[in-house]
């Protein structure tokens, strides 16, 4: 009978101590694995040279591995952004992106292989959903970006491939690992979602259970100020009316004490008119929130246009004048197919 595979990435110190005891060694060996796993960023159990060679062989023979991903392709943009195409053990492909500045290195994490949400402006959803990622596959993206840049990421955003709220447990366990084992404060973690009915309250309750307290940022991908336009851009929005979605956001705030950020992709002459900015300001009036504007990142399958700088500034000014906290996030890696899913699409 084939041994069940166990991947070490994502396991905490107590779990690794227990694994060592179950495999005939002292708990101290588990602590050694923990140190090499999270401080040295090993990619195989054979690299843990402080362990007896016979025991390393025993672990490998019993299906215990680190659980790293294989780099298939690397795309480097002029601005220093690096996008990696990574392969899982079952030969599926995922993307992860490292976005550097002088003071930080942000990693854009994927939570699924593909996506079922079908957002029209997103390349990932064009290929549908294959499956959700395991905890070790999410954490392995951190090690891949660390290896690519030669330094630890400082910030984590779940804005890559997939819908995090369709893989909540693995995402929260990954956040716990980033926080407790890799030293990234929760306030440097952002979870982005287009919204899944009934999942926001469950996210709050599960996050409190998994993490003790909720300090990460929830970013709700809104992209439209009314239900009709939102349904045209996000097909699943038809099952999750905007008024109920915002009620769930307020409930999330009540449970966690954390404000919600709203992501809004500006599509030239489609959702970036003066009336849209005014409607959005009214929609969020009285809401403890922040709006993060982004310019559309073109994909071949759609004819949407990037808005002009003047239209972006006009939209921002209208929100600001109406008391809505707003910022604009500059796109990175535009010269190298930076939109989620594009690198994977060009490879398969």
For residue range 282-321, list pLDDT tens digits in order: 999 988 889 999 999 888 888 899 999 999 999 999 999 9
- Band of the pLDDT at 336, cuts 50, 70, 90? low
Mean pLDDT score of the chain: 93
Give the pLDDT of residue 2.
46
Among 65, 99, 116, identify where a domain stops: 65
Given a cut of 70, whether residue 346 has pLDDT beyond it is no
Examine residue 38 and state whether it is found in any structural domain, yes or no.
yes
**C-alpha of 157 from chain center:** 5
Whether 50 and 150 share a structural domain: no
Whether 52 and 74 share a structural domain: no
> Between 127 and 195, whose confidence is greater?
195
Whether 22 and 165 share a structural domain: no
The one catalytic residue among 95, 137, 163, 199: 95
Non-local CB neighbours of 288 within 8 Å, separated by 6+ positions: 253, 259, 260
Whether 13 and 104 share a structural domain: no
Cα 212 from Cα 341, distance rounded (Å): 33
Give the pLDDT of residue 299.
86
97-108 mean pLDDT: 96
For residue range 85-94, list pLDDT tens digits in order: 999 999 999 9
Q: Is 340 one of the catalytic residues?
A: yes
Non-local CB neighbours of 217 within 8 Å, separated by 6+ positions: 187, 189, 190, 191, 258, 261
Give the pLDDT of residue 150.
95
Non-local CB neighbours of 339 within 8 Å, separated by 6+ positions: 122, 123, 297, 298, 299
Given a cut of 90, whether residue 119 has pLDDT beyond it is yes
Cα distances (Å, whole numbers) of residue 35 to 8, 42, 45 = 12, 10, 12
Residue 260, phi-psi category: left (phi > 0), alpha (psi -120 to 50), beta (remainder): beta
Whether 229 and 178 share a structural domain: yes
Among 20, 47, 65, identify where a domain stops: 65
For residue range 199-257, list pLDDT tens digits in order: 999 999 999 999 999 999 999 999 999 999 999 999 999 999 999 999 999 999 999 99
Whether 44 and 182 share a structural domain: no
Whether 326 and 271 share a structural domain: yes
Task: Identify which of 42, 211, 16 has the alpha carbon closest to the alpha carbon of residue 139.
Answer: 42
Count of domains for the chain: 2
Whether 127 and 268 share a structural domain: yes
Examine residue 1 and state whether it is found in any structural domain, yes or no.
no
Would you call 40 exposed, middle or buried from its count of C-beta atoms within 10 A (0-12, 13-18, 19+)? Answer: exposed
H or E element at residue 58: helix 53-61
Give the pLDDT of residue 1.
36
Percent of the chain with pLDDT over 90: 87
Whether 130 and 31 share a structural domain: no
Q: Is 87 one of the catalytic residues?
A: no
Bridge partners (DSSP) of residue 76 are 82
Whether 210 and 285 share a structural domain: yes
103-118 mean pLDDT: 96
Examine residue 187 and state whether it is found in any structural domain, yes or no.
yes
Which residue range(s) make up the domain with 317? Answer: 70-347
Task: Identify which of 192, 189, 197, 203 has the alpha carbon closest to the alpha carbon of residue 252.
Answer: 203
Examine residue 274 and state whether it is found in any structural domain, yes or no.
yes
CATH of residue 260: 3.20.20.70
Whether 290 and 341 share a structural domain: yes
- Band of the pLDDT at 113, cuts 50, 70, 90? very high
- Band of the pLDDT at 5, cuts 50, 70, 90? confident
Whether 164 and 245 share a structural domain: yes
């Amino acid at each position: 009978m084939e041994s069940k595979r166990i991947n070490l990435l994502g396991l905490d110190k107590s779990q690794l101590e227990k694994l060592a005891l179950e495999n005939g060694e002292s708990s101290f060996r588990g602590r050694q694995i923990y140190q090499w796993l999270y401080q040295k960023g090993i990619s195989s159990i054979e690299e843990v040279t402080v362990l007896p060679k016979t025991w390393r062989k025993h672990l490998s023979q019993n299906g215990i591995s680190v659980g790293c991903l294989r780099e298939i392709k690397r795309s480097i943009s002029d601005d220093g952004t690096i996008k990696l195409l990574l392969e899982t053990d079952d030969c599926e492909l995922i993307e992860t992106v490292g976005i550097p500045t002088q003071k930080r290195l942000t990693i854009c994490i994927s939570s699924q292989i593909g996506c079922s949400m079908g957002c029209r402006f997103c390349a990932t959803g064009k290929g549908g959903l294959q499956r959700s990622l395991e905890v070790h596959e999410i954490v392995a993206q951190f090690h891949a970006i660390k290896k690519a840049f030669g330094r630890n990421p400082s910030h984590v955003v779940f804005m890559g491939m997939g819908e995090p709220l369709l893989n909540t447990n693995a995402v929260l366990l990954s956040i716990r690992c980033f926080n407790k084992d890799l030293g990234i404060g929760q306030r440097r973690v952002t979870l982005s979602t287009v919204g899944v009915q009934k999942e926001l309250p469950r996210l709050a309750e599960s996050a409190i259970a998994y993490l003790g307290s909720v300090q990460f940022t929830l970013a709700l991908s809104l992209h439209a100020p009314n239900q009709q336009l939102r349904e045209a851009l996000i097909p699943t929005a038809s099952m999750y009316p905007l008024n109920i979605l915002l009620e769930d956001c307020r409930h999330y705030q009540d449970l966690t004490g954390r404000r919600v950020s709203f992501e809004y992709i500006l599509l030239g002459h489609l959702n970036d008119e003066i009336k849209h900015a005014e409607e959005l300001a009214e929609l969020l009036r009285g809401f403890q929130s922040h709006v993060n504007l982004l310019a559309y990142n073109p994909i071949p399958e759609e004819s949407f246009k990037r808005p002009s700088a003047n239209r972006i500034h006009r939209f921002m000014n209208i929100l600001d004048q109406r008391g809505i906290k707003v910022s604009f996030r500059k796109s990175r890696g535009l010269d190298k197919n930076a939109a989620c899913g594009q690198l994977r699409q060009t490879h398969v």
